[in-house]
Amino acid sequence: MSEIAQGINVYYENKKEVRNIVFFPDGTYRYYDTGAMIFEIISEEVSYMLITKALNMIKVFPDYSVEMTVDSITDGFKWLYGTIENDDLPVATELFRSSFNEAIEQVLERMKTEDSSKAVGEFFLECYDEYLDNIFAFIDFLEAIAADASGVADEKQTEIARLFADSSENLMAVYSKKCSVRHEKGAVSVETHQITNLLQLLTFEYCRLKKENKLLKQCDNCGRIFIPQHRSDSIYCGAVSPQNPEKTCSEIGAQLKRQKKRSENPKEREHHNTVCKTYNYMRRAIERGDSDDTVEYCRRKLDNEYKKYNMEKEGASYDERTE
């Protein structure tokens, strides 16, 4: 069945900010920015298609109870092939097919020493479990990489991210080198790299992002995976925030974090209130035309408040008499 489940082939250049060209088995191709294939896979629509819908389609396969044979397995796979597809999500569609095909081959290999007299539907449910393990491995690695880059990984995620980085290191030389283009006797042949499962996809995108000095990170506000576009130390994504549909996480994330700290920490709340009161007093003094000494007093008070706040955060004591 591998001839009907080929995965995708990717062409890329040895330059920054150059989109990858993804070739599909039907002869079509699309351009994808680095990292974009990951975001197609982790979209809610694809999560439903790859996990929930795939299971539902196995359960309603018309020949579910037919005895497992080469022909019934082939028919069942073609059933899934035709029902789990979306023209707007071509990478997810093709990687479902090739990933499930790999799961079929793994289960068949395992069954060589087992009794294979079972219904084809039961066989496909066993393949689904194998396939699901690969999906969850992809999710675990992706979340660990993003959490580690964001500085919020737990001990287990840190170890998973390290293992993934080590295993990907050997492919950096491959995925950072431009694919070749050959011209011979008027024909053009393009080198591509085949990707047939989600872990291969993650490895490819990880290496390409590393070459471009970009990171997969976890938004400190909504928890979604994102790629910082301007500053690598960004902690908020540019997607719509869950708190306000008119604002992005990057627009309100820091404000919400400060509000949360003030609600949970009396010292943070006291610092905020002191700064606001002093600033408002200084603003009114300027508007009234009060003396420069009054305005300067407010500026010093603000400066001292920030110094006191920062020193206490670092565990040092602060005495205004030293000023």
- Note the pLDDT of residue 322: 44
User: Is 49 in the same domain as 188?
Assistant: yes
User: Is 21 in the same domain as 112?
Assistant: yes
User: Is 211 in the same domain as 273?
Assistant: no
User: Is 43 in the same domain as 160?
Assistant: yes
Question: Could you give the CA distance from residue 220 to residue 236 in angstroms, rounded to a whole number?
Answer: 6
User: Is 271 in the same domain as 213?
Assistant: no
Contact 4, 11 (CB under 8 A): no
pTM of the predicted protein model: 0.78
Tell me if 237 is assigned to some domain.
no
Tell me if 154 is assigned to some domain.
yes
- Note the pLDDT of residue 313: 61
**Assign residue 95 a region: left if phi > 0, alpha if psi is -120 to 50, beta otherwise?**
alpha
User: Is 48 in the same domain as 193?
Assistant: yes
| H-helix or E-strand spanning residue 239 | none
Choosing from 159, 184, 218, the residue where a domain stops is: 218
CA–chain centroid gap for 78, Å, is: 30
Question: Could you give the CA distance from residue 41 to residue 89 in angstroms, rounded to a whole number?
Answer: 8
**Secondary structure (3-state) at 198:** helix
- Note the pLDDT of residue 266: 66
User: Is 130 in the same domain as 37?
Assistant: yes
Name the amino acid, one letter, at 27. G
Tell me if 259 is assigned to some domain.
no
User: Is 275 in the same domain as 214?
Assistant: no
Distances, alpha carbon 299 to alpha carbons 38, 81, 184, 269, 306, in Å: 50, 70, 75, 20, 11
The tally of domains found in the chain comes to 2
User: Is 202 in the same domain as 272?
Assistant: no
Distances, alpha carbon 86 to alpha carbons 11, 77, 96, 135, 215, in Å: 22, 17, 11, 18, 28
What six digits make up the tokens of 86? Answer: 């979306």
Tell me if 230 is assigned to some domain.
no
- Note the pLDDT of residue 314: 63
User: Is 37 in the same domain as 140?
Assistant: yes
Tell me if 191 is assigned to some domain.
yes
Tell me if 246 is assigned to some domain.
no
Tell me if 293 is assigned to some domain.
yes
Segments in the chain below pLDDT 70: 1-4, 15-18, 113-116, 254-276, 279, 281, 290, 295, 302, 305-306, 309, 311-323
- Note the pLDDT of residue 297: 73
Question: Could you give the CA distance from residue 301 to residue 104 in angstroms, rounded to a whole number?
Answer: 71
Structural domain for 294, as ranges: 265-322
